[in-house]
Structure 1
Amino acid sequence: MSQIDYYLFPLSPFTYLAGMQLETIAKKHDVKVVYKPFDLFRVFAEHGTQPPGKRHVSRQAYRLQEIERVAGMNGLDVNLKPAHWPTDPKRAVAATIYAQEFAEQHPGGDVGKLSFEILRACWAGEQDIAREDVIEKCLVAAGFDGGLAQRDLQSALDIYERNTDEALAANVFGAPTYVYGNQLFWGQDRLAHLDAHLATIG
């Protein structure tokens, strides 16, 4: 089965605003999604991109307008300035990585839903995704054992770093990014383009 490499970052508002459209598209075209949480801030540093809080005030203001507009169009609740943003993403990253490994051997959990639940907790639920109990709830909501949140972080963080290396090698510069073969689609507003591309080769 062909696959989409999905480079996501659990603190990215536009990753949240994609909802679960990717999973719908992948199911439609019978394509596997490989979830690759990566260190967006490291990628920003490599590319010389300023993080949101250091950009010109005009760009910061436009970003907030865009988040609010897209959320409304997609029927999603959003807090433009979440109480716990930014926060440490490592526990959320590890949960996603371990859940994907678990799902390959024990079907039942939904990694896409887990990713969305984590993002929603941050961007709509005013919850701190650095907290183990928050991640446990997200895991359970997605059909996983909440105990995955208690696994050692280091093995997952090694994969996180490797994912970031792969993202840089694939010319990924932002989140969310969807890579199919040699085609790169950046941003939740490019999901329709990914859908159309898959239709042409299906």
Structure 2
Amino acid sequence: MSPDAPERVKGGPLVRFRFAVPLVVLALVGLTGCVGAQQVRPDNPRGAGGLVPSVDDKDAGLVGVAPNFDVKAYRVVAVAPFTVSESEIKDEGDRRFADKMTGYLHTQLVRRLTESGLFTRVVNLGAAEMPKDAGHILRLDGEITRLGRGSQVARYFAGAYGAGATRAQIETRFVDVPTGRIVMVTADRRKASVGWFGGDDDAHLEESFDDAARDLTKFLTRLSRGESPAK
């Protein structure tokens, strides 16, 4: 073979496809500027207390807000540990994984709300009791109603087309503690299918939960400025 002749890639179609996958990921990053979790429309959110998350919001996903709810009226917010719907748990391995993910989400919510400065006090109900002398308190409850790890192999080969995506749906309830009245509900769904070598299940889901906590806090900040939910 001439020294100037182009070399041919050795191997069959599978080998050539494996070379092509990273190029597809690079192209997708170049076009979209992102790899990882993306917000999508929530799937059949449940709502609570007569409120249904049905209004689109650019940060929180879908929301339902009670009339006259004023987040500025609360100086203390208490964050309760979230649960995972039983429909998402098939065995003890799923339960351990659910505990890990709810713990991570809880930590991010406490951190984001603390950093926001919206409240003078953020109480972690996973580590402390509800304050008895803090006046007007807002409690954040919630449930992960969708929790799927997807398939890293499928993401590696066709993640650019949505295959093997991880999925997470977080539904929240904000409760006025003195009255027990639910004053706001939200539903936020995230999927992730693109990452180097398909991306790790845990990493994709943790990114989803961190982004959801960040964006929920952004929504509360906008509400405190008198803004309404908006897409």
Q: Do they superpose with TM above 0.5? A: no
Structure with more of its chain in strand, by fraction: 2
TM-score, length-scaled by structure 2: 0.23
TM-score, length-scaled by structure 1: 0.25
Structure with more of its chain in helix, by fraction: 1
